[in-house]
Structure 1
């Protein structure tokens, strides 16, 4: 009778109860997890997988990322290693685990292979290592059991002695965030398949993370973060006062902010009264401790290359899955105010673009999508296009039809802030739910 009651409850409540009941299905607690990003990356690239892990009963606080300046302008390799030593020691002390599970992507795999080989003591703190579309290796680094996941590219890439998995239809960053990759590393860590690869929604969520300078991941110290709930159809703030405000100092950490899983929020980084960076996300759905607010000092970085004015709005549109504008129905669609902006010239599959800058080049009120803007297109993982978006009038509509999404649409509406004093960043989902 008890078994029937449990089964009935699981059917009625579906994945949420199932995910909870699977917490210790093999009689053991999951180990803490650490992710190390690649070039121009951040901990935000592991957001989706962290929420999937939490949906399978991993404590959200046991999932961390090791961030660093991938240009090595402010960070040395030895400093990355020493910081990772401290992180692992702290996680093991706090959780009581024997070892951590470690994942790395791209440039991060070069660092982590060297880290695991640097000393037997370091290798002994890692139970499993996942090499995500990065450096091949003749053997398993430091003798640590290794899973290597590879995306599109030469099939001869491998880590010797490891389990090598190939997803030839997935791109470089997509490999980090895909449900297929999640299923493989979850089973590698735990010895059994995950109960779900979906993000199981929660009514109330806790959000926290860092506001950092791109791409150095240095904290955006000296700013103020304001969080507003916004109207999902217009992006307009529902209240004049923020729901929460945090002075940003040190490493850029903020939160926790308690909100609703289905709500739309604006994160406003206030550099000064005349310089505000507005960041918008789709509803988080689940507690997220890896929210990364990527910004730059006014007049510095890539935004300084854009042209600004009172009459037009500039947008940066991000997704942790490459935009394909040259693959026809097998690619992506991205419409701004109803206009398709992706094409074979500005977002070819080979560009691996995950960040798109749009602004009125020449400030002539004319859109020209025939070619990308060269100084942006020359950067890894970034493209840019001449798109005129009038400021101060109607909201800006952003609608994506992602490849592999069975026709679903991801949509956000944001205010048409004038670019003279406001920057706008939008992050769309890389996952199907």
Structure 2
């Protein structure tokens, strides 16, 4: 039977569980290099607050590395080439190159791997392949948040070529027993999974959750667990929060170090420097009606401007003076460095041919970051009748109307189900042309921006940090 731990009592048990798998405090390096692997369609930027929490507990920034998979979406059928998407083998090999580079740079003998969702598939595939080929692997710990280890669906004959099919060859190969006990994970790596009790959209017994349709998926809430791993359950968290939330960080830190972090909040820095990439998105070449799909490719030629903005009051979101940073993006897609004022809110303006001029408003940055990834929007056909478009987005989690305290322009965000972590964004479509302040609040985080005219090809994005 799989060991399962739940909050709020999981902390003490997790300490004991770590000891049972080996005392990590005896390692020569108390802060081993960590490689973070984002999920399907996501980017390295989602690990930003996780970086900050590790740094706030003494982890050197040089030992924190996040891959940024150029084509982060899985293929519909893993065995068939599909433009703009990656196979499980390509994903695994990309991760291997990053691990090899981190080992060379740091001189470490092993890394820690932390993955969210699809990122966990690549981690498992890399470890299993390495063990099969060489009998060893340069990994000490593997932490998987919300990884659909037994599939998003698991019904015989249903899309079994897809890497998320529980009855498909990819997952059945990973889950094959590794020892006489039937464990699904192999040593000497120490394994941990983190899952929600019932709020992970990709670990649901009903395919139509939260509005049940009665069509079973063949999986359940415990689908992310693995036999032989330490399996942690955090009530109420959503799919992305299995990796990017404070409780997920605490569980991860304890598992790696064998002791509690000193702090869960983020320690501010006196000097903040920001940099990252400007990336694009495209139209799926296999289906022109499918709309935008994400990639992490550089967007050369894009223009970036950064403005300080008023944090509150009647002029909330209004620019303060001239742009503080102006840059035309080169072939590598990189932007920065930009020396920011700690905890000062900013507006990032990205303009590129074929995209809407996108005004991204962010809360103040308490610490430096080199994974600030900016992506311009396209205006969807369904939204073209609106005079102004404001998008509230939460990259590191979902917007749960039954759980979260949130407002967009003084009202509940539109388009969300009454409960459940299903959607990461909400749109406010306005039929007015005069620019004005638009404010948002999410569980205590407040940010403000300005509305812009969609007829001029401009879109507002309010991006939640937490």
Q: Using structure 2 for the length normalisation, give the TM-score.
A: 0.71
Q: Distance in 1 between matches of 2:421 and 2:261?
A: 33
Check 1:25–1:119 CA distance in 2 against 1; reply closer, same or farther (3 A cut).
closer
Which segments of 5 or more consecutive residues in structure 2 lack a partner in the other structure? 1-24, 75-82, 150-174, 176-182, 199-219, 282-293
Q: Distance in 1 between matches of 2:459 and 2:364?
A: 21
For 2:337, the equivalent position in structure 1 comes to 256
Aligned partners of 1:264 and 1:283 also within 8 Å: yes
For 1:373, the equivalent position in structure 2 comes to none
Aligned partners of 2:416 and 2:423 also within 8 Å: no
* Superposed CA offset, 1:58-78 (max 9, x none): 222332222222334333433
For 1:237, the equivalent position in structure 2 comes to 319
Q: Using structure 1 for the length normalisation, give the TM-score.
A: 0.76
Q: Distance in 2 between matches of 1:140 and 1:26?
A: 22
Q: Distance in 2 between matches of 1:123 and 1:416?
A: 55
* Superposed CA offset, 1:147-198 (max 9, x none): 1111133454421211111113211112212211111111211222211111
Deviation at 1:205, TM superposition (A): 0.8
Deviation at 1:222, TM superposition (A): 2.2
SS in 1 for 2:352: strand
Which of 365, 368, 381 is the equivalent residue of 1:287?
Answer: 368
Q: Distance in 1 between matches of 2:125 and 2:358?
A: 37
Which of 92, 102, 114 is the equivalent residue of 1:103?
Answer: 114
Which segments of 5 or more consecutive residues in structure 1 lack a partner in the other structure? 1-23, 366-389, 403-408
Which of 430, 447, 452 is the equivalent residue of 1:417?
Answer: 452
Which of 118, 132, 136 is the equivalent residue of 2:145?
Answer: 132
Q: Distance in 2 between matches of 1:48 and 1:274?
A: 28
Aligned partners of 1:323 and 1:349 also within 8 Å: no
For 2:158, the equivalent position in structure 1 comes to none
Check 1:61–1:42 CA distance in 2 against 1; reply closer, same or farther (3 A cut).
same
For 1:88, the equivalent position in structure 2 comes to 99
Deviation at 1:321, TM superposition (A): 2.1
* Superposed CA offset, 1:342-375 (max 9, x none): 5xx6334345211223325xxxx4xxxxxxxxxx
Deviation at 1:273, TM superposition (A): 11
* Superposed CA offset, 1:321-358 (max 9, x none): 22112x2xxx223323322235xx63343452112233
Cα RMSD after superposing both structures = 2.6
Aligned partners of 1:99 and 1:127 also within 8 Å: yes
Aligned partners of 2:356 and 2:376 also within 8 Å: no
Alignment of 1:277-426 (within 5 A): 277-296=358-377, 298=378, 303-308=379-384, 312-319=387-394, 320-325=396-401, 327=402, 331-342=403-414, 346-350=416-420, 352-360=422-430, 365=431, 390-400=432-442, 402=443, 409-420=444-455, 421-426=457-462
Deviation at 1:429, TM superposition (A): 2.9
Q: Distance in 2 between matches of 1:222 and 1:106?
A: 32
Which of 146, 151, 155 is the equivalent residue of 2:196?
Answer: 151
Which of 149, 168, 171 is the equivalent residue of 2:238?
Answer: 171
Count the aligned residue pairs. Answer: 359
